[in-house]
Amino acid sequence: MKSTLLKMSHICKSYPGVKAINDVSIDLFAGEVLGIMGENGAGKSTLIKLLAGAEKKDSGEIYIDEKKVDINSPKASQENGVSVIYQELITMDTLSVAENIFVGQLPVNKVTKLIDWKAAQKKSTEVLALLNSNIKPKSIVATLSVYEKQIVEVAKAIHKNAKVVVMDEPTAALSEKDSKSLFKVIENLKNQGVGIIYISHRIEEVFKISDRITVMRDGKLIATKQTKDAEKKEIISMMIGRELNQFFPEIKSEKKGVMMKVSDLNINGIIENISFEVKKGEILGIFGLVGSGCLNIARALIGVDDIDQGEIHINGKKTSIKNPKIALKNNIGFIPIDRKNEGLTLNFSVKQNLTLQSIDELGSSFIIQESIENSIAEKWVKKLDIKTPNIEVEVKTLSGGNQQKIVLGKTLEINPEILVIVEPTRGIDVGAKMDIYKMLENLCKEGVAIILVSTDVPEILSISNRVLVVSNGKIRKEFKKGEANQQELLYEASLN
């Protein structure tokens, strides 16, 4: 066995009212990928924060290279060779790639003591070459894709000679292709003897790249298993503490007349001649890799992106959707891609979020009638099984799954006839996922037309009645349910 790089032993951490981490011990060997899985609120992120020095543990010990270390600040963590790549990347977007990689330690000319840009660029190129990346050191980070930003973070970690690299949901915002490249990078790091802690909800991925899997639930460590001996169903049932019959519910509904007809939609340089129909009670999947334009189709349908050409008919009536307000007026509900920045107002209470799209309905005068507001909020908390102490708490204190249910409830309150949903289950736990699928099924039965934009291949194949594959701004192919498997879908999406 290789040497133990990191050992976290009997770690405990409490917040007022919650035991976030309860006697958790993990170890990590050199050249190993340890996958950590668990539902939201299981304690994965807290554990990482303790390791990163962003939070202080209550008790327990941390050993690095078998030496006890005191990690009481992010700086101490970094000095001990730990590098954390957070889900919300913390790159400095207005600076260049080289400046990001060398943050705080740019090489200086020995005589003038000024920054030696040539050396910085040369070294950056070297580090990036290790990662098989051809990002230019001079590029401004803001112009990079999410994947490239991640590579910059990894390069930063390598430059700092990190021994332990933690990745928190690294593929959440990546296309399949970029995810694959990232896995190669991880493989590469492994070979150099770096230990990697890989946190993800995507079970397929974790099985593909990890050597061992640790499952956490309710702040406790449930089990650590060799990946090759583990089974997916077993891991999932450990995560949720109950047996899961199937990944996806079979969504059955009766499809009636055409609800929405889109013809020759164009956004110059982004999408081209997009035409499709959605029937009442149907789920139409739109699949494409990042940058394919499928996100822009969704945004055009809800009035965020302006269209240059094309027509949208709703219930046979031509409709111009200039802004989200008009979309809502036409009974188009939506779940935007970014839960925290677009879907929710984090400082608002559960109640205020749930009623934000339907403010006008909160009483007949200009005053908000609190009784109406409370009953709307209570209704959705119950209907969607939102786990919250009460309807007055700020939504930022809730888990991702519960937050996403609030985004859904908020838009269902307007009684949508059409629902445009983008990545509805990204980064949320299995239990909440099932609840959301169930709700979608009910909506279909009620005759709502659903347009689902998702990069989650199994999800889109399982719950859509039809899938449109988009690449380079055009619709390439249409698959009916059961016609395509994952490989075929990805193949079509990667064609230009």
Partner 1 sequence: MKIIGNKITTNMSLFAFLGFLIIVFSFTSEHFLGIYNITSLLTNISYSGIAAIVLTLIIISRGLDISIGGVIGLTTVVIATLYSQSDPLPVWLILIIGLSTGALVGLLNGWCITVLNMDPIITTLGAMAITRGLAYVISDSQSILMFEDTTDFISNGTILFIPIPIILFLITALIFSIILHKSKFGRAVYAIGANETSASLSGISVKKVKMILYVLSGLAASISGIILVGQTSVGMPQHGIGTELEVITAVLLGGTALSGGKGTIYGTIAGVLILGVLFNGLTISGVRYVHLQIFQGILLLAAVATYEIKTRNEVAT
Which residues of the chain form contacts with partner 1 (CB under 8 A)?
A: 16, 302, 304, 323-325, 327-329, 334, 336, 341-349, 352, 356-357, 359-360, 362-363, 366-368, 390, 392-394, 410
Q: Cα–chain-centroid distance for residue 138? A: 29
Closest listed residue to residue 4, CA positions, set 300, 265, 212, 314: 212
Q: How far is the CB of 391 from partner 1 (least distance, A)?
A: 10
Nearer Cβ to partner 1 (22/349): 349
Contact in structure between 283 and 450 (CB atoms under 8 Å): yes
Contact in structure between 471 and 292 (CB atoms under 8 Å): yes
Nearer Cβ to partner 1 (188/349): 349
In the DSSP assignment, the letter for residue 482 is: T
Q: How far is the CB of 56 from partner 1 (least distance, A)?
A: 10
Cα–Cα dist 43/220, whole Å: 8
Sheet strands (E) in 212-327: 212-217, 220-226, 256-267, 271-280, 283-287, 309-314, 317-319
Nearer Cβ to partner 1 (2/325): 325
Q: How far is the CB of 359 from partner 1 (least distance, A)?
A: 5
Q: How far is the CB of 15 from partner 1 (least distance, A)?
A: 8
Contact in structure between 46 and 405 (CB atoms under 8 Å): no
Contact in structure between 463 and 440 (CB atoms under 8 Å): yes
Sheet strands (E) in 104-186: 164-168
Q: How far is the CB of 135 from partner 1 (least distance, A)?
A: 28
Nearer Cβ to partner 1 (50/213): 50
Q: How far is the CB of 403 from partner 1 (least distance, A)?
A: 12
Nearer Cβ to partner 1 (93/360): 360
**Non-local CB neighbours of 219 within 8 Å, separated by 6+ positions:** 18, 19, 20, 21, 22, 24, 42, 43, 46
Structure tokens belonging to residue 228: 């090759």
> CA 91, 6, 46, 185 torsion: positive or negative?
positive
Maximum CA pair distance of the chain? Answer: 78
Nearer Cβ to partner 1 (132/323): 323
Q: How far is the CB of 295 from partner 1 (least distance, A)?
A: 14
Cα–Cα dist 86/91, whole Å: 10
Cα–Cα dist 494/496, whole Å: 6
Q: How far is the CB of 458 from partner 1 (least distance, A)?
A: 28
Nearer Cβ to partner 1 (358/464): 358
Nearer Cβ to partner 1 (159/410): 410
Q: How far is the CB of 414 from partner 1 (least distance, A)?
A: 8
Nearer Cβ to partner 1 (162/327): 327
| Element at 406 (helix H, strand E) | helix 400-412
**Non-local CB neighbours of 491 within 8 Å, separated by 6+ positions:** none
Nearer Cβ to partner 1 (146/304): 304
DSSP line for 369-384: -HHHHHHHHHHHHHHT
Q: How far is the CB of 460 from partner 1 (least distance, A)?
A: 23
In the DSSP assignment, the letter for residue 402 is: H
Q: How far is the CB of 350 from partner 1 (least distance, A)?
A: 11
Q: What are the φ and ψ backbone dihedral angles of 442, each rounded to 5 degrees?
A: -60, -40
Question: How many CA atoms are closer than 13 Å to the CA of 418, on its beta-carbon side?
Answer: 25
Q: How far is the CB of 341 from partner 1 (least distance, A)?
A: 6
Cα–Cα dist 93/97, whole Å: 9
Structure tokens belonging to residue 163: 């021994």
Nearer Cβ to partner 1 (98/422): 422
Q: Indicate the residue type of 107.
A: P
DSSP line for 244-264: -S-SS-------EEEEEEEEE
Nearer Cβ to partner 1 (258/372): 372
